[in-house]
Structure 1
Amino acid sequence: MNFTKTTEQDSKYNHLEKMSIVELLTNINNEDKTVPLAVEKALPQIEKLVEQIVAKLKNGGRLFYMGAGTSGRLGILDASECPPTFGVSPNLVIGIIAGGDQAIRNAVEFAEDSLNQGWQDLQKHNISDKDVVVGIAASGTTPYVISALEACNKNNIITGCISCNKNSPLSLMAQFPIEPVVGPEFVTGSSRMKAGTAQKLVLNMITTSTMIQLGHIKGNKMVDMQLSNNKLFDRGTKMIMAELHIPREEAEDLLTTYKNVRLAIKNYNNG
């Protein structure tokens, strides 16, 4: 198969340093507008992967994201937001980045080039065929991620990926590839821009649709969210007031007692 790395092709724009601020912003925005359309074309691919993830998580499995650099950070971001948003264990969706946690803030030289560290990092979590591993790489050529998925395939672990190049080595390695092809970046090769945005949109879709399928949303509300600050406690109180048609004080008492919107509503109805 032909593989063209569109994420590395020359920008459609030139002489960026001569543009005014408003020209820069307008042109970046015009490029950004194309990203949701690229993701839309990948919806059938996303659906296939989400079906696999839901099935595995319903049977006690976990979802792993793996990436290097920006891609790794985006996976960690998405994973870290699942417990507060959906009230799930931090061990249900796990983000792994090449170079370890220090790479979240600072680039770790050559970490993405390792051919065995990815699988070793997964083994630290006792990875098994109950789990799903999704590799994230805008280029689709990151050795750390590709080699990890190869090892997963050999061990009967379902693999997916998010790459912004068609028919990349990563896409060919993954059993369920997702390919939002966003084309050349405004700044040539700066795949933290459109490619990163596309990856973020896809990650949002994967975890949100999975968590809804797993029953962590009621109506359209985050009834399992963690009440980790005053804003969220207030939101939870309003949810209970609206659902049960009770005054604020009573709703606050329920939430203080049960520390969870779903439990507060359930126990009120049972009481």
Structure 2
Amino acid sequence: MTLALIAGSGALPHAVAGGLTGQDWTCFHLEGYAPDGITSEPFRVERLGSFIADLKGRGVTEVCFAGAIARPRLDATMIDAATMPLAPRMMQALQAGDDAALRIVLAFFEEAGITILAAQDVAPALLDVPVAGEVGARDAADIDKARAVHAALSDLDIGQGCVVAGGQVLAVETTPGTDWMLASLTAPFARPNGGVLFKSAKRGQDRRVDIATIGPETVTGAARAGLSGIAVVQGSVIVLEPDSVRARLKESGLFLTTIAP
């Protein structure tokens, strides 16, 4: 049984690769999104049909998607014969919301008899959260409000996080991501002190290929934004570089807490 790691940018592919010790695996990446620190072969989206056929020819039975990519542009002049039957659904995916687009792409692999594995299934330790600090009563109230906001936004397929301070919604995560959202809060504006970054998977999200993630830069961004801490739903968020996360929490004085699903 051979596993293919289909990697994007960021620290996640390397973290997943660390959980594949002793397994038969190989790595590929969408052209333009080579992962750091891993030898990987490129492929083009216009040749996705041929790529999947090649995986089957190599004996690949499982794939794991890990890392970030931007939604690719499809050059119709480069679509090969093996990909042509997939083209109508590929165009549909490019115009759909994130979750719907991912489901279409996953279907191509599943229809070829390839099983999709989640990053957290390959490397379960990624879900371990280095809890730190104390959550005050005001923080707990902000967490409750943030969770309600997140639930309301899930059906709109908007993002995996939001920031609430003093009961006020300061920001919601959109396409630019968590780091951008936190950076936007460093600009001066009238707002309550403190606040909480809340992160969780969206309701109905396919966590095999898209799961909320935090890492050291998340802690740094939250501290720069003047927040009091971070709350994540247990089992719904991957933690990258946990030792560095733990160290930055200690340096900044921020809390990191988990709440039940």
TM-score under structure 1 length normalisation:
0.31
Highest Rg: 1 or 2? 1
Question: Which structure has the highest helix share of the two?
Answer: 1
Quick one: higher RCO (CA 8 Å, sep 6+), 1 or 2?
Answer: 1
By percentage of residues, which structure has more strand?
A: 2
User: Normalised by the size of structure 2, how large is the TM-score?
Assistant: 0.32
